Structure 1
Amino acid sequence: MLRIVVLGAAAGGGVPQWNCGCQVCRAARDGQPELRSTQASVAFSADGVGWFLVNASPDLRQQLTATPQLHPKPGALRHSPIAGVILTNGEIDAVAGLLSMREGSPFTIYAHAKVLAILKSNSIFDVLGERTVRREPIEADRPFEPRLADGSSCGIEVLPFAVAGKGAWYLEGKAHPGGSDGTGDTLGLRITDKGTGKYFYFLAACAGLGDDLKSRLAGAPLLFFDGTVWRDDEMIAQGLGQKTGKAMGHIAMSGDDGAIAQLAGVAIGRKVFLHINNSNPALLAGSSERKTAERAGWQIPADGTEIVL
């Protein structure tokens, strides 16, 4: 039985973002606390005992406190059920939470060599001593089985694959620690329970949907997909930034080239948007954008949502 918990559903900055006075952030502060969301991450487990995280958001400590499944076991002075963290990119909102896991519990970081190179190049991540926190390189299109803390099987296979995207924004104009050749900056994941055959896809960042990716996703029981912006020029139109969604490495929800239209004809059991920016009007329950997304079969989850396959 594959269990998935949405630890956070928001894009970088969360909802409300600390310095933002947009419509969604104002509502989240003042009258609609249900809009509040931490930055995107999920946890998954095949047995409900050993858990793995997909990305480690800056809000990780808050997320772990709010998630009983990830608490230390009763009676233990020091314990964590988290056996590993799988990184799909090197952005701040995917890696900063690793620093909250520096208190000496063993786990493994699984990431592409390009992302591991980013961690190695920044000495602040040395607080995660490699004798306790192993760093395991993963490759696109090569499945692997993450291991529990004692090295035993977790019963789950993870298949990473490259998707359209871009490198971390803080490396723009700088030499990439992992080199400029090849893929690895943005990965999607297929996560499969080997016992039941149930699986789901996780793509928190995706800049475009080609035929190959749509074919890959066809038939999936569950998809977590990039929901950063509603329209490509959303940040510019609201006066919140100067970049389009595409320039940031994210496909829009709406439009002919957007996720809703592109995946409308693809057979997917449950479609869930994740990594949703505070600028996105689909966050508002009564908005026309939310109604459009829901009519198309998409869900916008709250933090703490649990799904069992």
Structure 2
Amino acid sequence: MTDSSGFRGLVLGAAAGGGLPQWNCGCRNCRLARDPASGVRPQSQSSLAVSLDGHSWAVLNASPDIRQQIIDNSALHPKALRDSPIKSVLITNGDIDHLAGLLILREKQPLEIFVTAAIAEIIDDNPVFRALDPTFVKRHTITLEQPFSLLPGVEARLFAVPGKVPLFMENGEPELQLEGEQTVGVELIAEGKRVYYIPGCAHISDSLIARIDGADALFFDGTVFTDDEMITLGVGQKTGQRMGHMAISGPDGSFAALSKLDIAKKIYVHINNTNPIWRAGPERDMLEASGFQIGYDGMEIDFD
């Protein structure tokens, strides 16, 4: 990425939990991702970085792959002996693929972390996160709908989206469209631009449609193309809905809902290893023909 000013985003990781290829999966996509000649590139776990000046960056979700993501993106490299352009980290839910990367960022580096009270409770309940020295790492507990400064010049706001508690917190059958502090979307406003990051969402409600319509960019949950794709492929027993994610396809899918909205850039992220949009085919063609983009590691988005 060029070192210039302007509000923009950098997709650090476009895949859902487990990445592509997933370490123990032999599905078609994972086999292709292991073959350098296939054209299907490996993808790391979901994370987005944003900046206004190219020098200071905020990371949205700390993937377990964050060390490699920093290596792969020169904009995030240290510029001095002990240094990081990453100034803040925001967590949208308590899933391992969004939270575990905080443990990589424990090297006595000044950092601000933004979380809801529900996510803060998960961190406090797990003593391993005490490795984040509070002398260097300042944590902010953010109330929903409360504007705050994520970076100088970048205003953020968290809002509830339908989802569920993290897998490791499930006790019996969880509520699958729970709205509260456990799963949030992020609104970013800078230089007159309005951008949304929603990597996990179980349903697009009328209120969510009203919020995101007219946005300059939307990064949205693309976990599964069809609700039952993991079952159909024989790699799992859960539907997308059971995992807290809506499907892309179908009359109630995100493609149908988002196609009706006036959003300048629509980018799918948090894409499961089973999703056919990773490779050339009718599913990917349908999305791209309608102006949607498929996120990928290293993708740069200018919000102008």
Normalising by the residue count of structure 2, what TM-score does the alignment of the two structures yield? 0.94
**CA displacement at 1:294 relative to structure 2:** 1.1
Match runs of 1:1-309 below 5 Å? 1-30=6-35, 31-32=37-38, 34-73=40-79, 76-146=80-150, 154-173=152-171, 183-193=180-190, 196-285=191-280, 287-309=281-303
Hey, what's the Cα distance between the residues in 2 that align with 1:124 and 1:32?
40
**CA displacement at 1:240 relative to structure 2:** 1.1
**CA displacement at 1:278 relative to structure 2:** 0.5
User: 1:260, 1:296 within 8 Å by CA — same for their partners in 2?
Assistant: no
Paired residue type of 1:45: S
1:228-247 C-alpha deviation (Å, 9 max, x unpaired): 00001111111111111011
Secondary structure in structure 1 of the residue aligned to 2:219: strand
Taking only the aligned residue pairs, the percentage that are identical comes to: 47
User: 2:19, 2:273 within 8 Å by CA — same for their partners in 1?
Assistant: yes
**CA displacement at 1:183 relative to structure 2:** 1.3
Hey, what's the Cα distance between the residues in 2 that align with 1:263 and 1:182?
20
Hey, what's the Cα distance between the residues in 2 that align with 1:43 and 1:307?
10
1:119-162 C-alpha deviation (Å, 9 max, x unpaired): 11111111101111111101111111135xxxxxx111001100
**CA displacement at 1:255 relative to structure 2:** 0.3
Hey, what's the Cα distance between the residues in 1 that align with 2:194 and 2:88?
18
Gaps of 5+ in 1: 148-153
Partner of 2:3: none
Paired residue type of 1:166: K
Hey, what's the Cα distance between the residues in 1 that align with 2:140 and 2:263?
31
**CA displacement at 1:168 relative to structure 2:** 0.5
1:229-269 C-alpha deviation (Å, 9 max, x unpaired): 00011111111111110111101010000010011111110
Hey, what's the Cα distance between the residues in 1 that align with 2:31 and 2:251?
30
Partner of 1:150: none
Secondary structure in structure 2 of the residue aligned to 1:291: helix
User: 1:251, 1:258 within 8 Å by CA — same for their partners in 2?
Assistant: yes
- Cα root mean square deviation, aligned: 1.4
Hey, what's the Cα distance between the residues in 2 that align with 1:297 and 1:167?
32
Secondary structure in structure 2 of the residue aligned to 1:263: helix
Hey, what's the Cα distance between the residues in 2 that align with 1:261 and 1:250?
15
Paired residue type of 2:11: V
Hey, what's the Cα distance between the residues in 2 that align with 1:161 and 1:277?
24
1:95-140 C-alpha deviation (Å, 9 max, x unpaired): 1111111111010110001101101111111110111111110111
**CA displacement at 1:49 relative to structure 2:** 1.1
1:192-225 C-alpha deviation (Å, 9 max, x unpaired): 11xx211210000000011111111110010000
Hey, what's the Cα distance between the residues in 2 that align with 1:33 and 1:134?
42
Q: 1:253 and 1:206, CA in 2 relative to 1: closer, same or farther beyond 3 A?
A: same
Hey, what's the Cα distance between the residues in 1 that align with 2:52 and 2:72?
20
Hey, what's the Cα distance between the residues in 2 that align with 1:281 and 1:50?
35
Gaps of 5+ in 2: 1-5
Paired residue type of 1:44: V
Partner of 1:151: none
Hey, what's the Cα distance between the residues in 2 that align with 1:72 and 1:35?
26
* Number of residue equivalences: 293
Paired residue type of 2:25: C
